[in-house]
Amino acid sequence: MLAVTEDLKGFLRRAKHLSEVISSAGSVVVVSHIDADGISSAAIAKRALERLDLPHRVQFVRSLGEEEIEAISKMHEDVVWICDLGTGPCQRISDRKCVITDHHQIFGTGQSSLELFGDMDHMLNPLLFGMEGSTQLSGAGNTYFVARELDERNLDLAYLAVVGAVGDMQDRNARKLGGPLHSLVIKDAESRGDLQVVTNELQFFGWVTRSAAAMLAFSNDLKAVGFSDTIKEVASLFYRSGIPLKRSSSQSFGRPGDRGFEWRSWSELTQEERNVMKVALRDRLGEIGLDRNALDGLLGEVYLFPNHPSGSPTREAKEFATLLNASGRYVLTNDSRGEEERGDLIINVCLNPKVYSEKALENVNNHRVNIREGMKEVHRVEQMINIQYLLPKRKNSFCLKVNDTILGIITGMVLDQKRGGEKLEMDISKPLVALAEKEDSGGKGGDPVVKVSSRMSRELLKKGINMGSAIGHAARIVGGDGGGHDVAAGANIPQKQIKKFLKALDEEVGEQVSRFNPSKRS
């Protein structure tokens, strides 16, 4: 058994060990999550296996629960490579050879019962080596380090590790991707010319695909500090600053203008022009009575992929990740028809920057509509002693009527008050929980399964709250399963056990706070 060492060298030794397990296999099945991090992971694994000329296939799943474990136990491949899923109640596949590249928390039971897969030697996870899984490396990053050991040609996949990390919002708090592992990933990508890191920049969505004026006018980050200028007012700010918003039409992915012109994106402005506009934006904040220094807290690193088509959402990490999230959430269907084709489509978008799929862009538009409609489902926030949860407009229901695959996105947006219109009454000192019935559950008269998503501010870590641990504990009490990160976690529970689950979760969060600070015990 390899020793678990809490350092970078130990992490890289584990990656080398797992690469040897994979390269010695006769066949491999990759099982991965359907979010941007999981899709990036699957794409990295697929390309690495192609280069080894190893027979393989990719299977996407929503989570690693009982049903998925049962399916894995029947797979015929020599090695099961599990990406960005943690591990589940996996007693029935303990005799299978597994490789796990993951970054979720590891518990003795529940979502990450690694000992049931054999032992910790089967997993690459920064948490095993003294590093943080929610900020210092994502699932795609872990998968990349194994691929990196398989073949030096796989250095050209480092950009996907960046996409996965940004998709998991690992750059959110520090406003950049930090830690020694991300530094290695970025160094690999930059050395090949696959990545351009733009520092001290606005990290707003729409760097490439929105006009520069639209990016500012529709920025949720700016709205959060009180900025409410319309796109016409923002455009006027550009003109007063002498920065042209249009250019001659020439590129297929541009933003249509009029009379042969297209709107310039923020990425098409020169660095000098962007600096001028940041000064103008600060002045505008002060002019309308807001804190002009608030803009400084919105600056950070932006990750561009210069080899991708100009104007394509795959050219910038945040937009790339949104594209993958939008497509991945709809890969799986109740009857499984077309899943393989949709999975291949989204992997091909990852691996071929020269060929862009218009179908994938359609998924982005559908995804935005679904999120907008999902946000309308949120009616109010119900308070408990230690947690709070979202309620829909429908009476006698705990579940939002939304696609369960976007529940985490909606929960995060509500927590950040990015819903538009009147703000909800919410207590930011408590974790926020949301529930939605899973579409493919409850058949043949069975109790439907409810998806649970939770989010909280990182400030609550200082109180001793760990949502991955708490939600897993509460889910197991009611016969479900769950886990995740310290500030973002999820679970699957029986619908009839919702009230019992919420009570158990509320009590466990309270216990965590008490254990962390015994003086607060009642």
Mean pLDDT, residues 230-253 taken together: 86
| Nearest-10 Cα torsion for 37, 38, 41, 42 | -150
Say what the pLDDT of residue 107 is: 59
The residue type at 246: K
* 378-383, strands of its sheet edge to edge: 378-383, 388-392, 432-437, 449-455, 488-494, 481-484
Domain end marker among 160, 186, 212 = 186
Say what the pLDDT of residue 213 is: 96
- DSSP H or E run through 263: strand 261-263
In a domain, 145, yes or no: yes
Query: Is residue 53 located within the same domain as residue 180?
Result: yes
Query: Is residue 396 located within the same domain as residue 278?
Result: no
CATH code, domain with 434: 3.10.310.40
Domain end marker among 156, 186, 216 = 186
Q: If you ran DSSP here, which 8-state letter would residue 211 be given?
A: B
Helix (H, G, I), strand (E, B) or coil at 61: strand
What are the pLDDT digits (tens) for 54-113?
A: 999 999 988 887 778 888 888 889 999 999 987 554 444 555 688 999 998 875 443 333
Q: What percentage of residues in the chain have a pLDDT greater than 70?
A: 84
The burial class, CB within 10 Å (0-12 / 13-18 / 19+), for 360 is buried
**Beta-carbon-side half-sphere exposure of residue 455 (alpha carbons within 13 Å):** 18
| Contacting residues for 48 by C-beta, under 8 A, at least 6 apart | 146, 147, 150, 151, 154, 157
Query: Is residue 152 located within the same domain as residue 260?
Result: no
Say what the pLDDT of residue 467 is: 92
Query: Is residue 70 located within the same domain as residue 122?
Result: yes
In a domain, 114, yes or no: yes
Q: If you ran DSSP here, which 8-state letter would residue 133 be given?
A: T
Query: Is residue 134 located within the same domain as residue 58?
Result: yes
Contact present, 143 and 19 (Cβ < 8 Å):
no
Query: Is residue 161 located within the same domain as residue 37?
Result: yes
- Residue 135's alpha-carbon distances to 177, 248, 298, 463, in angstroms, are 7, 41, 18, 19
Asked if residue 6 has pLDDT above 70, the reply is no
Say what the pLDDT of residue 521 is: 45
Could you write out the three-class secondary structure of 266-285? HHHCCHHHHHHHHHHHHHHH
Q: If you count them, how many residues does the chain have?
A: 522
Query: Is residue 174 located within the same domain as residue 94?
Result: yes
Query: Is residue 149 located within the same domain as residue 283?
Result: no
Query: Is residue 268 located within the same domain as residue 380?
Result: no
In a domain, 195, yes or no: no
Query: Is residue 39 located within the same domain as residue 176?
Result: yes
The burial class, CB within 10 Å (0-12 / 13-18 / 19+), for 430 is buried
Mean pLDDT, residues 228-254 taken together: 85
Look at 443 and 357; give whichever has higher pLDDT: 443
- β-strands 255-256, 261-263: how paired? antiparallel
**Angle subtended by helix axes 358-377 and 339-351, to nearest 10:** 110
| Contacting residues for 313 by C-beta, under 8 A, at least 6 apart | 208, 209, 319, 320, 322, 323, 361, 364
In a domain, 352, yes or no: no
Look at 345 and 306; give whichever has higher pLDDT: 306
Taking alpha carbons only, the member of 396, 398, 401 closest to residue 388 is 398
Taking alpha carbons only, the member of 62, 67, 57 closest to residue 85 is 62
Give the model's confidence band at 315: pLDDT under 50 very low, under 70 low, under 90 confident, else very high: very high
Contact present, 398 and 436 (Cβ < 8 Å):
no
The burial class, CB within 10 Å (0-12 / 13-18 / 19+), for 402 is buried
Say what the pLDDT of residue 256 is: 54
Asked if residue 23 has pLDDT above 80, the reply is yes
289: left (phi over 0), alpha (psi -120 to 50) or beta: left
Taking alpha carbons only, the member of 142, 45, 212, 105 closest to residue 471 is 105
Q: How many domains does the chain have?
A: 3
Query: Is residue 30 located within the same domain as residue 179?
Result: yes
Query: Which domain range does residue 440 map to?
Result: 372-516
- DSSP H or E run through 505: helix 498-516
Taking alpha carbons only, the member of 519, 417, 503 closest to residue 464 is 519
CATH code, domain with 17: 3.90.1640.30
CB neighbours (10 Å) of residue 492? Answer: 20
In a domain, 36, yes or no: yes
Query: Is residue 108 located within the same domain as residue 176?
Result: yes
What are the pLDDT digits (tens) for 419-436?
A: 555 678 889 899 999 999
What are the pLDDT digits (tens) for 117-149?
A: 445 678 899 988 989 888 999 999 999 999 999
pTM value > 0.85: no
DSSP string across 312-370: -GGGBHHHHHHHHHHHHTTS--TT-TTHHHHHHHHHHHHH-TTS--HHHHHHHHHHHHH
What are the pLDDT digits (tens) for 471-506?
A: 999 999 999 988 888 888 889 999 999 999 999 999
* Average pLDDT score, the chain: 85
The CA distance from 16 to 421, in Å, is 51
CB neighbours (10 Å) of residue 354? Answer: 8
Domain end marker among 186, 216, 236 = 186
Say what the pLDDT of residue 485 is: 82
- DSSP H or E run through 185: helix 180-191
The CA distance from 409 to 84, in Å, is 17
In a domain, 364, yes or no: no
Asked if residue 182 has pLDDT above 90, the reply is yes
In a domain, 141, yes or no: yes
Give the model's confidence band at 395: pLDDT under 50 very low, under 70 low, under 90 confident, else very high: confident
Helix (H, G, I), strand (E, B) or coil at 17: helix
In a domain, 351, yes or no: no
Contact present, 384 and 506 (Cβ < 8 Å):
yes
